[in-house]
Structures are given as C-alpha cells and as structure tokens.
Structure 1
Amino acid sequence: MSKKNEKLIKIISQFKNKKILVVGDIMLDKYIWGDVTRISPEAPVQVVSVQAESYAPGGAANVANNIAAFGSDSYMSGIVGKDIANEILLKEMRKRNIKTEYIITDEKKPTIQKVRVIGQRQQLLRIDYEKGEYLSKEIENKILDFVTNKIKGIDGVVISDYAKGVITKNLMMNIIKLCKGNKKIVTIDPKPQNKKFYKDATLITPNCKEASEMTNIEPDSEKNVLKIGKKILKELKAPVLITRGEKGMTLFETNGKVMNIPTKAKEVYDVTGAGDTVVATVTLALTSGATLRQAAIIANHAAGVVVGKVGTSTLSINELKQSLENE
C-alpha cells in the first residue's frame, strides 16, 4: 500500500470520533421486492409478485445514515408529517443510531416517501408522496435554534437540499454564518434552484446534471465541465466537487487548481443515494483533518463501494479502508 493511502486510512480512522449535524429534507425510502411473473391482462404492464418489503432513511436522512454507519455521532434536523410514515421513519433512524431529537413534526405536511418497486434486482417503478412547500417561519426558527445551540458541540454540518422546502435562504445564510463564526465545516449537497443560498460554504457537491443546471452549460466535453466548475466556484465563492458517474469526480479549488479523480466502481447496480454517501464521507474526512483533495479521493472510494449495492446503501469504515488497501 502506498504512503499516500496509509495517510488516507489514518484520516478514516478518525471518523468514529466525529459529531456531524445534517439539516435537510428527510424522506422515507420504501422498497417493494418481488418477481416479475407475467404481463397484466388489464394493461401492458408487468405484474410483480411481492416477496418482501423494507424501509430505509432516505433523502437527507440517508446522509445521516451514512455518517452513523461509519460509527460517527449523527444528528438529524428537518421535518416529518404527523402520519404512519413518520413513525416508521423515526424507528428506522433510531435503529441505525441516528439521533432524532432535532426533528420537528409539521402537521401541515406529509412525511415525504419514495416507494420503489424492485423486480429481478431492477427498479421498475417509483411512487412519490410529498408536498413541496417552504417551511413556516416558526419551524424555520426552531431548526435555526437547534443549530445555534448545537454548533459548539459538533465538528461539522451537512446541508442536504432536495428542494422539498426545508432549506430556505434565511436558514441557509444563518447556518453558513454560524459555521464560519465557529470555525466548523459546512458542506452542501445542492439543488440548482437554490444555488444562491450556498455562498461561502466549505464545499459544494453537485452531480454533473445539477452542476449543468446551476450554470446553464451542457457538460458535453471536458472543456465545458471545466467551465461549469469554475463558474460555480466564482459565483458561490466555494470549492466544488462535481460527481460524474462513470467519469469519477472533478474537484475545483479556490486557488484555481482542478483535479480529476477516476471512478473506483467495479460494478454499478444502483446509484440511489450515492451523492448522499459522497457528501457524508467528504464531510467526515474534512473534519478529520483531510485536505480537500484527500477528502475527495476518500469520498470517491466510498461512492465506488455503495454503487455496487442495490438500494439506499451505506458502507462501513472497514469497507472503505479495504477499498484503499486494494488499490
């Protein structure tokens, strides 16, 4: 194993000592697993014979799940509805050692659910339950109070924005200000329509499609990918890590340096939640003393592991270390 990778493994070993707060759009992922047996006589659609159902924390809660899976202290703040899905979701989160005391029940909204039907290891259909409206001022203030009271006792904050209403301009500006004032890492998994909210973050981690929409530039050449990253960096005054699927990742630093990182994925079964794994891993790496480049390399290894799994997946510290050791 190279000395470079030995350093990265030392950084990963620090993950378990870290405390990270995730703020964002919490969802419940439901999976219906089955076999496709025939075509329906009622319509030209597949009939799935259901074998099992399972649940997992989704959206921002999957970021918190990835953090907890590394053995770190994972705190979640956001909203759920007053419904059965809320009860299932909170139970699933607590089962995975995610701290839920900063989650607020909003009686005017349902708990966001993503229901996926899986047959023969392939996703056949997705059904969404959601009501995408911005938070009331009262709930926004409660979340901000949570962050204000918690900031000194944590190592970093992840903003997981799915544009479902939790991340408002006022909340975002205040969280970034709090993090900078207390010298805490703040990373953002963004949504293009909210891009103006993210100025001065420690790191922004869009996928290629999101980065393209943030700049109105098509990522159809390496030259254009460079333009995209540099434009986001200039506008938001923050480093950018663009995740690019089979092309790996590209990191843009404020000093003008650009680094391309080839993918580590050997097989890709499911990209569900891969961006959540990236922002969780890169945040833990940065709070553990990694440079931006080291953090990006570690996150790239983590993404390579999770896309080889089916469903909303996480990985352990040992799996991450093994990926580096096997390089």
Structure 2
Amino acid sequence: MPKSAASSAKSANSLVAAVRQLRRGTVLVVGDVMLDRYVYGRVSRVSPEAPVPVLAVERELALPGGAGNVVRNLTALGAAVAFVSVVGDDQPGSDLTGLIGGQPRVEPWLLVQGGRATTTKTRFVASGQHLMRADHEQASPIHPRLADRLVRIATDAVAATSVVVLSDYQKGVLSGDVAARIIAAARTAGRPVVVEPKGGELARFTGADLIVPEAEALATATGLPVGTEAELAAACIALKHTYKLGAVLVPRGPDGLTLVHGQDEVLHLRAEASDQHDPAGASDAVVAVLAASLAAGLKLVTAAELAAVAITIVTRKAGIAVVRDDELIEAMTPGLNAKRKMVTVAYAAEMVERWRHRGWRIGLLHLSEGGGEAWSSALMEEARGWCDRLLVAVGGGGGINMADWPMVDLLAECTGQSNEALLRLFRPDILVHGPAAVPLGLDDENLLAEWGGRLCRPEHPQAA
C-alpha cells in the first residue's frame, strides 16, 4: 500500500474508533427550542380567490427545532443529554414537551412561561419545494424570575454533564446575562462551553471555549470580509481575541469548515463534494458532533474532523435532518457502499421520506425470498427508468447481489410482509412487478391509486 493510502486508511480507522466513543458523552444543552412543522401535499390548481397555489394536504410532520434539533443530533450520536429551555403555555409547547421527552437518553427541563407563544415554524411543501413558511413566535427576553430559575437548573446540571452547549436562536432564552452566568458556572466546574450563535451580539459569550458562528454572522461581528479562506481565518482570529474565546469554528457547507484554535492555528477541512446540498440544520449537526466529541474526551482537532464528515452527510439530506453515529462510520469506511444500501425496513422508511421531501419519484420492488436471482441488471435498469429512486424489498437476504447494482438505491431486508403493509409504509409512486415479485393482493392497485401511484412491469414499460 502506498504511504499516502496507508496514512489515509490509518486516519480513517482512527476516526472510526473516535466515533465509537461518542456514546460515552454527557452534554447539557441550554437554548431556544422551537417546533418545526411540515405540511406536505400536492399542487394541481390555482385558487379562484387569488393567484396562489392550492395545496392539497396529504400529511403533516412535527419535530423539535432550534436547540431541540441539537438535542436530536446528540441522541442520534448516542450521547446522553440534559436539556433546559422555555416554552409557552400553549399547544405547541405541549407538543414540544412530548416530542423532547420521548427521545432516548434525554432529561428535559422545559420551563413554561404563561402568556408566552412557543416559537413555531410551519413549512408548506409540494414536490420537494417550499411554497411558504409561516412563523409564530415571541422573541422578547424571558421573564427575569424565570431566567433566574433557568440559570439555577442549568448550574446544577453542569456538574452532572461533561460539556455545555449554548444554542442561541435569538428567541429570548439566552438574552441579557443568562449566557454569561452559565459560562461562569461552567468555568467554575471545569466544563467546556460550546456556543452556537445565530447572529446577535456575541459579547454575551465572552470566555466560551468554542464558538460556531456562520460566516455571515462572523462578518457582521468583526466587520471583516470572509470571502476567501485567508479572510475567513483572519476574521476568526479577530473574533477569538476580541471575546477571549478558546477557539472559533465556522461551517462552510459543501466547502467544509475552518477552525482557529490554540495559538491562532488555522485548519481548513474539506467536505466531500456532492451535487446535492441542503444546508438546513447543518450547524446543529456540527455543534452536536463537536460537543459529543469533547464530552467523550476527544481532542478538538479530531472533533473538527468528525464535524467535517457530518457536514457531508447532513447537507445531502433533505430538510432539517440529523447525523447518526453509524452514518459517520459508514462515510469513513472504504468499501461499504454496497453494504450501506442494505438497511432495515425502518431505516428505509426514513430514507423514503427524505427522497419524497426532495420531490423524487419513488419506486418499490417487493421480491419474494430468494427472488433476486430472477432479475438481471438489464431488467432492473428498466425498472429504475420509471422512477428517481428505487427501493428493493426482499426477504431472507435473497437480493444481496443487487446491492452492487448502481440502479438499486436501497435494499431493505424484510420477511413475511405483505405488499399492502409495505405500500402503506412507503407510499411509492411506482410499484414495480415482475419475476419473483410478491403476488399482488386484491386491493393493492386500489391502495396504490389512493396517492396517485402506478403499477409497472418490466415487460410493459408503460403503466399497467
């Protein structure tokens, strides 16, 4: 093996070993939580009342957003989390309490302020495109007495965790001197503080160990240009000295990230290039990976290297998504492309939702056990031509040879499940049928038609 290849393999193995340590971390997250709602549907006509599209709603989804998305990412990495935030005494606040409390390894402290509106962002989506977003929020500072209680709870939680994350979306939780008091408590306890600021006055975070601003916020805070890597590094150094910060890390989307640490050492890390890029939630994933890494005792440079891999993963996903520890490992392990396609039914359902969010036409081929041998790559290529993404479901590992075929996007291992069950779970646009496919039930085509799906066969490329 050439020296460069050996070095690369050694580095990848070292990072994989680092990922496996993330589950040891315990992290305190304090910040602005919000409810992210998604309303999905189809647009087929314009309203007669005004020149606007009519969205025929098909489904809705609610997720914790803001600091809540940092929590989601931390739990996806396997870390334990204590979460302190504020919600209103309204239905969105109640919904958030249930969503946060239902996550594994999370100890939530969601304080309620009477008369305050819980921040809620509702996105209306059709064919993978956002039609509009409606926001309900009250961004004023939380009540002083509630702020005192929040600081007391956070101070107590500092002792039980290894790293503190301050996630500031400028919705009022970390306003005034709240952030400074929590940073002081963390310093007293010897706990590092990671800050995720969404704009605003950064002086509140003076003395933090690591701050993760976006490039635009960095430029605003320093008054310096950030158009090139050299300019970005200079702005990071200026910010670091101005606010007595331990380090500054700036995520740069598909370009990777820039880290300034120690004695103003500069590190530019690249993300893997991709023709798909969705920046939503990327900084939350980066902050979570950094915090989980530091909580597990990893060095900052190693944490940054893992964060660069996380950027590659999360920006390839549609919408506000999370990065899991197994995804980090797979991304850094050569030769796992075929294995990566072989997933559980539950994971396949998650991937299908991401595909649908991008507006892609989804095809499903449900094969009987051992049925993969009846299909040639030519037949599969024909089936792939009817859709943007093709999911093959097969029992007993009978389609393992298909994992290497580029026309198969995902291979789900399932045994004994009916077409009806998989149709209801995946809601494909195209149901592929042909050799060794599971026989169709009496109502399968009617069920498929409920959401405008079609049945296609290799011997008849058009809709059956």
Q: State the Cα distance separating 1:189 from its structure 2 match.
A: 0.3
Greater shift in the superposed pair: 314-323 or 209-218: 209-218
Of 244, 248, 252, the residue aligned with 1:237 is 244
Q: State the Cα distance separating 1:99 from its structure 2 match.
A: 3.1
Q: State the Cα distance separating 1:278 from its structure 2 match.
A: 0.6
Q: Deviations along 1:51-89, whole A, 9 cap, x unmatched?
A: 110000000111011111122112211100111111211
Distance 1:294 1:264, change over 3 A: same
Q: State the Cα distance separating 1:254 from its structure 2 match.
A: 3.2
Greater shift in the superposed pair: 264-273 or 285-294: 264-273
**Paired residue secondary structure (2:249):** strand
Q: Is 1:89 aligned with 2:96?
A: yes
Give the letter for the 2:191 counterpart.
Answer: K
Higher relative contact order (CA 8 A, sep 6+): 1
What is the aligned partner in structure 2 of residue 250 from structure 1?
Answer: 258
Q: Is 1:107 aligned with 2:114?
A: yes
Q: State the Cα distance separating 1:190 from its structure 2 match.
A: 0.9
Q: Is 1:22 aligned with 2:29?
A: yes
Distance 1:98 1:140, change over 3 A: farther
What TM-score results when the alignment is normalised by the length of structure 2?
0.68
Structure 2: which 5+ residue stretches go unaligned? 1-7, 336-464
Q: How does 1:176-215 map to 2 (within 5 A)?
A: 176-215=183-222
CA distance in 2, matches of 1:218, 1:38: 45
CA distance in 1, matches of 2:196, 2:310: 16
Q: State the Cα distance separating 1:219 from its structure 2 match.
A: 2.2
CA distance in 1, matches of 2:264, 2:277: 35
Greater shift in the superposed pair: 299-308 or 222-231: 222-231
Q: Is 1:308 aligned with 2:310?
A: no
Q: Is 1:224 aligned with 2:252?
A: no
On the 8 A contact 1:15/1:70 being kept in 2, the answer is yes
Q: State the Cα distance separating 1:308 from its structure 2 match.
A: 1.5
Percent of aligned positions with the same letter in both sequences? 29
Q: State the Cα distance separating 1:100 from its structure 2 match.
A: 5.0
What is the aligned partner in structure 1 of residue 149 from structure 2?
Answer: 142
On the 8 A contact 1:265/1:308 being kept in 2, the answer is no
What is the aligned partner in structure 1 of residue 300 from structure 2?
Answer: 292
Q: State the Cα distance separating 1:124 from its structure 2 match.
A: 2.1
Greater gyration radius: 2
Q: State the Cα distance separating 1:41 from its structure 2 match.
A: 3.2
Of 325, 329, 333, the residue aligned with 1:325 is 333
What is the aligned partner in structure 2 of residue 171 from structure 1?
Answer: 178
What is the aligned partner in structure 1 of residue 270 from structure 2?
Answer: 262
CA distance in 1, matches of 2:275, 2:113: 40
Give the letter for the 2:278 counterpart.
Answer: D
Of 45, 53, 62, the residue aligned with 2:60 is 53
Give the letter for the 2:288 counterpart.
Answer: A
CA distance in 2, matches of 1:202, 1:47: 49
Q: Deviations along 1:169-189, whole A, 9 cap, x unmatched?
A: 422112111212222121000
Q: How does 1:62-101 map to 2 (within 5 A)?
A: 62-97=69-104, 99=106, 101=108
Distance 1:91 1:126, change over 3 A: same
Q: State the Cα distance separating 1:122 from its structure 2 match.
A: 2.0
Greater shift in the superposed pair: 177-186 or 261-270: 261-270
CA distance in 1, matches of 2:254, 2:41: 28
On the 8 A contact 1:158/1:283 being kept in 2, the answer is yes
What is the aligned partner in structure 2 of residue 32 from structure 1?
Answer: 39
What is the aligned partner in structure 2 of residue 126 from structure 1?
Answer: 133
Q: Which consecutive segments of 4 or more residues in structure 1 shift more than 6 A?
A: none
What is the aligned partner in structure 1 of residue 380 from structure 2?
Answer: none
Q: State the Cα distance separating 1:318 from its structure 2 match.
A: 0.5
Of 155, 158, 168, the residue aligned with 2:165 is 158
On the 8 A contact 1:34/1:49 being kept in 2, the answer is yes
Q: State the Cα distance separating 1:267 from its structure 2 match.
A: 4.5
Of 278, 286, 290, the residue aligned with 1:278 is 286
Q: State the Cα distance separating 1:218 from its structure 2 match.
A: 3.2
Q: State the Cα distance separating 1:212 from its structure 2 match.
A: 1.4
Q: Deviations along 1:29-55, whole A, 9 cap, x unmatched?
A: 000111222333333332222111000
CA distance in 2, matches of 1:269, 1:33: 21
**Paired residue secondary structure (1:2):** helix
What TM-score results when the alignment is normalised by the length of structure 1?
0.95
Distance 1:310 1:203, change over 3 A: same
On the 8 A contact 1:65/1:74 being kept in 2, the answer is no
**Paired residue secondary structure (1:297):** helix
- Count of equivalent residues: 327
On the 8 A contact 1:77/1:143 being kept in 2, the answer is yes
Give the letter for the 2:220 counterpart.
Answer: E
**Paired residue secondary structure (1:153):** coil
**Paired residue secondary structure (2:36):** strand
**Paired residue secondary structure (1:35):** strand
What is the aligned partner in structure 1 of residue 49 from structure 2?
Answer: 42
Q: State the Cα distance separating 1:167 from its structure 2 match.
A: 0.5
